Structure 1
Amino acid sequence: MRREAFAFVRDFAVAPPSELRVDRHYLLCASRGALRLEAHGKSWVLPPARAALIAAGEPIQVAIAQPVTTSSVLFDPAFAPEPAVPLTVFDLSPLARALVSECVAWPDGAEPLPPYARSVFGALVAVVWRLAQHPSPVTVPAGQSPELRRALALTYERLAEDVRFEDIADDVGLVPRSLARRFEDECAMTWRAVLRRMRVLRAIEELAAGEDSVTTIAHTVGYTSLSAFNAAFRELTGRTPTQYRATFRP
């Protein structure tokens, strides 16, 4: 008999993308650093105070660009309902954070959970499944065709530069009009909109990585104007960079 649910905290070093697939519903939370997740043609960044809810058996790509500490809670599908979608990234509430911290007292084991533990894990399910109804809007398309995936990779590599769409198209061997059509067809957004999202996601990673000033981070991700950076960041996250970083800490 396997335990209905269990939790653990773990430190991870920098690592390239690898596939994660488990036979339980998986709540993955970062408490230090940030993870990159990819599934179903989209990419997310998972910094502190955010969580990913992954359905049992769902394969996702996980990359670790900086040292990270995670808290993980795994639920038997017989104990927790099927998530509404295979992967959701969302903000953790203070109550959810407290429940995750409490659940860590019960790691994996063969014996059933005691009644109090079952109630704590059950409360976490109720809270998290409700929070997952409001997913993070900060996603970046991963692309399908080799040309578009290459264009996305080149764009990401050049975030700090004055990157030009025409140069990206030339480097992937397409005329700008053809590449623009690929972005519309595969991403349902323009290259410029993808670039803005990439810069915000990279900024989130930088905010989670240390104490660099917001101005320094703005320049790191390619903005020469702090006001433009703040406006783009707030448009996607609903917060300024300073407000967003403040949510990383309880």
Structure 2
Amino acid sequence: MTATEAQVVARVFEPAPAQRFQMPCHYLLHAEQGALLLEAGGLRWTLPPARAALVAADEPVLVSLPQRVVACSALFSPSFVSDPPTPLSVFDMSPLGRELLKALRGVDGHETLDSHATALFRALAEVAWALSRTPSPAVMPVARSPQLRRALALMEARLDQDQGFEALAAEVALSPRSLARRFSGEMALTWRQALRRLRMVRAVELLAQDGLSITEVGMSVGYASLSAFNAAFRDFAGQTPSDYRASFRS
């Protein structure tokens, strides 16, 4: 088997604005450190180390780097593997998937792969294809108007605070009625639904890190009690924060 049929690309990327990303191969996009922002089809995902994206060959996406990222991603030729179940899926990366990426990290992309590396790449593809069938719910619709983008940025910066809709509308120079129409028209969400989604997306990102306890994660995204955070997260993700954190750790 030749290395062009499958390879792992590991490199450091400095912060960069959104750029169109389209590959002639299937691409498993994963960050070992930092977080990527991925946008496609009017939706936006954050990719911390606990999450990955499987992008089918020739599928266009926008990728931005708000911070320094250490990426470790895999490329698969369409002749080597079957097509992914969907053109794009973002999902929680399993410990097995991360270990397979690490095991293949040192493989030279210009050398012919031996049988061991070939078997590992096939195993990685099996894992990634299976995981892609259960996409992460931590996704946000993309706002189109500058006023709504500004409103979302303000909301995201204040997730740990009590937020008022009328005050937010005044800050972005819209009436509450006009802002409510922007939320429903551009995102198909109410303001409260968008705020809750932002809090859950941030919680997913924080749970992937080791620095905060689950109670601290809940408080940092605006929940005054662990029970309230547990209930909201279970309703959003289908499992408790502690179960979610355990699911992507060895």
TM-score range, shorter chain: 0.7 to 0.9
**Residue pair 1:36, 1:45 contacting (<8 A) in 2 also:** yes
Counterpart of 1:216 in structure 2 is 216
1:201-240 Cα offsets, whole Å, 9 max, x none, are 2122223333222222222112222221111112112222
5+ unaligned residues in a row in structure 1: which ranges? none
Q: Indicate the larger mover: 99-108 or 126-135.
A: 99-108
- Count residues in correspondence: 247
Letter in structure 1 aligned against 2:230:
N
> After the TM superposition, which parts of structure 1 deviate over 6 Å for at least 4 consecutive aligned residues?
none
Does the Cα contact within 8 Å between 1:26 and 1:56 map onto a contact in 2?
yes
AA at the equivalent of 1:59: V
Question: 1:18 maps to which residue?
Answer: 18
In the alignment, which residue of structure 1 is the partner of 2:226? 226
Corresponding position of 2:63: 61
Gaps of 5+ in 2: none
For 2:69 and 2:233, locate their aligned partners in 1 and report how far apart those are by CA, in whole Å: 23
TM-score by length of 1: 0.84
Q: Which amino acid aligns with 1:220?
A: S
Contact 1:33-1:209 at 8 Å conserved across structures: no
Identical-residue share of aligned pairs (%): 49
Give secondary structure in 2 for the equivalent of 1:78: coil
Distance 1:209 1:68, change over 3 A: farther
TM-score normalised by the chain length of structure 2 = 0.84
Alpha-carbon offset, residue 63 of structure 1: 3.0
SS at match of 1:209: coil
Is contact 1:33-1:208 (8 Å) kept?
A: no
Distance 1:175 1:80 in 2: 53
AA aligned to 2:114 is P
Deviations 1:27-52 (A, max 9, x none): 12344554433332222232344321
Give, in whole Å, the separation in 1 of the partners of 2:176 and 2:55: 37
Partner residue in 1 for 2:243: 243
Deviation (angstroms), 1:127:
3.2
Counterpart Cα distance in 1 of 2:57 and 2:115: 24
